[in-house]
A and B are shown apart, each in its own frame.
Chain A
């Protein structure tokens, strides 16, 4: 019988080629990633240097799209407004969604808690629903005419607290962010919970022996050990919110009503690059690609910053 010599095309002996064989395992992922992620991304960046009507902008204009976006009064106002709103949108998610997630996870990780699974299901449930559905639901609940929230507040004598939050420029974005936080709070909860459960009991018990109370254990022992998960959740929230589009589109429409107060980068990009502004409906794909490229750069800066920070931290830990 002929011996099959699996060298994977390398001329060296079996041992060393086996060591290099990992490259081959990367090839499928690399091809898929290049074709479906890297190429379109680069293409989109190239597109941001062009202008023209229609499917593929074909007039090269260099950095003019960037100049328009930053110096033209109208464009700049809309872009900066969307950028600012995106930061607020992200901030509220960090503040509300992730803090609540941490709180829920702390409660769910209590050993003596009864009905743990029921709570866990309830908290996670909204995350399984369609965004269109939750948006519609909350619009109905908050409707100033026949909404449940108003009726409920009036029933307990607090009708004066209600106002048409979704129609108010000062509150609409906050409400939309809260609805989105409500929907997705289950995800950080699950991740934090897994993190809490992964903390060895010995550490907690040792702290108890040393006389630490529950708060001290949580703050001094558990929270520091949860840091890797917290930073992971933060970066995921960052990426998710800078790419957000669906919840605003479903609740407030593509224009970010009222008065562009809920316009975020996602909806701004959609109007500029895909749909055009009603009723003109002439999309400017060149400037759209510019917005997309800038969004990508913001995301990349954030993620690289986080990578650098977390690597430095882990190195310090190793040294310590």
Chain B
């Protein structure tokens, strides 16, 4: 009996010890993410934050990208979601907000001053902002500068010049473009949606489709699919069985002059150290068109769990995130991912800078399919992807592909049903 009392007393003592220890321990907030590759870099940023706020302990806890959305959804439903989490732009992030999982951040200090309306809009629902914009990825054409110099090719200023340059490369025994459709998503994201803004008129043009003012098979859309047909002869032989990784290697081995790609590949290309100089240029507009556009895709924001146990501390982190100093260190630690602060930071990485320079004098817009076109079946992404590949393989004409896009979206997307009238 005595022993039992003793044990009880010990337990009480322990409980006290634990609770007093907890009082001294800093508050821990967890950030969920799909960026498993960025653990070290985000760690550096978190260290800087913790140095300023020793009372807060921040943990970066990323999930394998393909599982992220499903995992996060499950975490929310079972009440185990992190305090802060990366949000994908448009429909996917919006879905979480509509379920009531995300807190309203509209009143966050400095939010509207630090980010443009267009950036905030990707994570907004009826005037409510639920995400602090974190990063964008850019798209353009990687080119082998050494090879261009050797063959006397200038950086193309128009679409016609681009095709002429491609012809020169092809005539000299090189693949003009290393792109291929073995991984279908690449045709959608880094080829079709990379070049589309020039043909549909960027942000304003895209909104005209979304409002039903334009139909998805109008001349702009047909021209975008026609551009794919223009490129088809310049892709590698047997491109249908060449994967994303193969494409990268074809370019890195110097067998191809150009590669339509995204800024996220900068670190990989640099680590491969190809034995030639490379840089990027923007997809040029057709001759005679003055306005040019770059696909500068809003990729991620950070949202706040509506049920977080430490909303004060989490908000403090979000406010810290919207400062220019954060943008500067983020942009430099992760070349190829561009912070969205209105104050564009100076980037040390030359290739990342080359991407950022493309935005000068050009309109920027997100990938066409993301805003509004993913919310039903068949979704705009799959339609653009499948039909662009069919054009690439010569199975469909540009007009047929655009008609398929229009008819597919008209199945559920109301503006597409009433468009043009």
Q: Does A111 contact B (CB under 8 A)?
A: no
Q: Is the CB of B382 within 8 A of A277?
A: yes
B78 contacts chain A at the CB level, 8 A cutoff? yes
Chain A residues, Cβ within 8 Å of B377: 74-75
Say yes or no: A55 contacts B74, CB within 8 Å.
yes
Residues in A neighbouring B240, C-beta threshold 8 A: 164, 167-168, 258
Known: A74-B377, A281-B92. 4 other contacts (CB 8 A): A145-B250, A163-B238, A164-B238, A167-B238
Residues of A within 8 A of B108 (CB): none
Q: Mark A167-180, 1 if CB is under 8 A from B, else 0.
A: 11000000000000
| Bound Cα distance from A83 to B313, whole angstroms | 52
Instruction: Indicate if the CB atoms of A279 and B77 lie closer than 8 Å.
Output: no
- Binary contact track A21-58/B, C-beta < 8 Å → 1, others 0: 00000000000000000000000000000000111100
Given contacts A164-B238, A258-B184, contact A55 B374 (CB under 8 A): no
User: Is A144's CB under 8 angstroms from B241's CB?
Assistant: yes
A196: min CB distance to chain B, Å: 40
A97 at interface by CB-CB < 8 Å: no
Q: Tell whether B294 is near chain A: CB-to-CB under 8 Å.
A: no
**Among candidates B183, B241, B250, B389, residue contacting A165 with C-beta atoms closer than 8 Å:** B241
**Residue A280 CB within 8 A of the other chain:** yes
Chain A residues, Cβ within 8 Å of B411: 74
Please give the number of chain A residues whose Cβ is less than 8 angstroms from any Cβ of chain B in the complex. Answer: 32
> How many angstroms from the CA of A143 to the CA of B184 in the assembled complex?
16
Query: Using Cβ atoms and an 8 Å threshold, which residues of chain B touch A165?
Result: 241
A74 to B246, CA, bound (A): 32
Q: In whole angstroms, what is the CA distance A274 to B67 when docked?
A: 9
A54–B95 alpha-carbon span in the complex (Å) = 11
Main secondary structure of the interface of B (DSSP, over half): helix
- Supply 9 A–B pairs (Cβ within 8 Å), ascending by A: A55-B77, A55-B78, A56-B77, A143-B241, A145-B250, A168-B241, A253-B184, A279-B88, A280-B92
Interface residues of B in 81-121 (CB under 8 A from A): 88, 91-92, 95, 99
Residues of A within 8 A of B183 (CB): 253, 257
Which chain B residues border A265 with CB–CB below 8 Å? none
Separation of A279 and B241 alpha carbons in the complex (Å): 22
CB contact between B379 and one of A168, A274, A277 (< 8 Å): that residue: A277
CB contacts (< 8 Å) of B238 on chain A: these are 144-145, 163-164, 167
Q: Does B70 contact A (CB under 8 A)?
A: yes
Contact bitstring B344-384, A, C-beta under 8 A = 1, else 0:
00000000000000000000000000100010011101100
Complex interface: chain B residues within 8 A of A282 (CB): 69, 92, 95
Which range holds the interface residue count of chain B? 35 or more
In the bound complex, do residue A274 and residue B70 qualify as a contact, i.e. CB atoms below 8 Å apart? yes
Partner of A145, one of B66, B99, B181, B236: B236
CB neighbours (8 Å) of A279 from chain B are: 88, 92, 370, 374, 381
- Tell yes or no: A283 within 8 A of B by CB: yes
- By Cβ-Cβ distance, the 10 closest A-B pairs, closest first, are A167-B240, A167-B241, A144-B238, A164-B238, A164-B241, A281-B69, A166-B241, A55-B77, A280-B374, A144-B241
On chain B, the residues within 8 Å of A275 by CB distance are 66-67, 70
In the complex, the answer to whether A281 meets B70 with C-beta atoms within 8 Å is yes
Q: Inside 8 A of B370's CB, which chain A residues have their CB?
A: 279
Q: For the complex, is A198 an interface residue (Cβ under 8 Å from B)?
A: no
CA distance A166 to B240 in the complex (A): 8
Q: Which of A142, A143, A144, A166 contacts B237 (CB 8 A)?
A: A144
Q: Which residues does chain B contribute within 8 Å of A75, judged by CB atoms?
A: 377
* Interface flag for B73 (CB, 8 Å): yes
The CA-CA distance from A236 to B389 in the complex, in Å, is 38
A126 contacts partner chain B, Cβ-Cβ < 8 Å: no
Q: How far is the CA of A222 from the CA of B239 in the complex (A)?
A: 49
Given contacts A74-B377, A167-B181, contact A142 B74 (CB under 8 A): no
C-alpha spacing A253/B92, complex, angstroms: 22
Residues of the B chain whose Cβ atoms lie less than 8 Å from the Cβ of A168: 240-241
Which B residues between 143 and 189 are near A, CB-CB below 8 angstroms?
181-185
For B236, list chain A residues within 8 Å (CB).
Answer: 145
B 224-253 to A, binary, CB cutoff 8 A, 1 in contact else 0: 000000000000111111110010001000
| A54: B residues at CB distance < 8 A | 73-74, 77, 99
User: Which residues 183-212 in A have Cβ within 8 Å of B in the complex?
Assistant: none
Question: Is there a chain B Cβ closer than 8 Å to A276's Cβ?
Answer: yes
Cβ contacts under 8 Å, A276 to chain B: 69-70
Residue of B whose beta carbon sits closest to that of A150: B238
Report the minimal beta-carbon distance from B256 to chain A, rounded to whole angstroms.
11
Interface centre among B182, B370, B377 (most CB of A within 10 A): B182
Nearest Cβ in chain A — how far from B77, in angstroms? 5
- Determine if A255 is an interface residue (Cβ-Cβ < 8 Å): yes
Tell whether A112 is near chain B: CB-to-CB under 8 Å.
no
B219 at the interface (CB under 8 A from A): no
A257 touches B182 (CB 8 A): yes
Interface string of A238-262 (1 = CB under 8 A from B): 0000000000000001010111000
**CB-CB nearest in chain B for A162:** B238
Known contacts A53-B95, A145-B236, A163-B238; A74/B184 CB under 8 A: no
Task: Tell me if A278 is interfacial: C-beta within 8 Å of chain B.
Answer: yes
- Which residues of B sit under 8 angstroms from A280, Cβ to Cβ? 91-92, 374, 379, 381
Is the CB–CB distance between A257 and B184 below 8 Å?
Answer: yes
Kindly list chain B residues whose C-beta atoms are within 8 Å of the C-beta of A55.
73-74, 77-78
**In the complex, what residues of B have CB within 8 A of residue A257's CB?**
182-184
Within 8 A of B (CB), among A52-109: 53-56, 74-75
Chain A nearest CB, measured from B74 CB (Å): 5
B319 at the interface (CB under 8 A from A): no
A254 to chain B minimum Cβ distance, whole angstroms, is 8
Q: How far is the CB of A149 from chain B (nearest CB, A)?
A: 12
Bound together, the chains give a CA A275 to CA B71 distance in angstroms of 10
Query: For the complex, is B403 an interface residue (Cβ under 8 Å from A)?
Result: no
- Say yes or no for B386: interface residue by CB 8 A criterion: yes
Chain B positions within 8 Å of A144 at CB level? 237-238, 241-242
Cα A277 to Cα B381 with chains together (Å): 10
Question: Most B CB atoms within 10 A — which of A257, A276, A277?
Answer: A257
| List of A residues within 8 angstroms of B99 by Cβ | 53-54
B184 x A255 contact (CB < 8 A): yes
Contact of A259 among B74, B182, B242, B386 (CB under 8 A): B386
- In the assembled complex, the Cα of A130 lies from the Cα of B193 at a distance in Å of 36
For A258, what are the chain B residues with a Cβ–Cβ distance below 8 Å?
181, 184, 240, 389
Which A-chain residue is minimally distant from B375 (CB atoms)? A280
CB proximity of B411 to chain A, nearest CB, Å: 8
- Give the complex CA separation of A144 and B378 in angstroms: 32
Instruction: Give residues 263-287 of A contacting B (CB, 8 Å).
Output: 274-283
CB neighbours of A259 from chain B (8 A): 386, 389-390
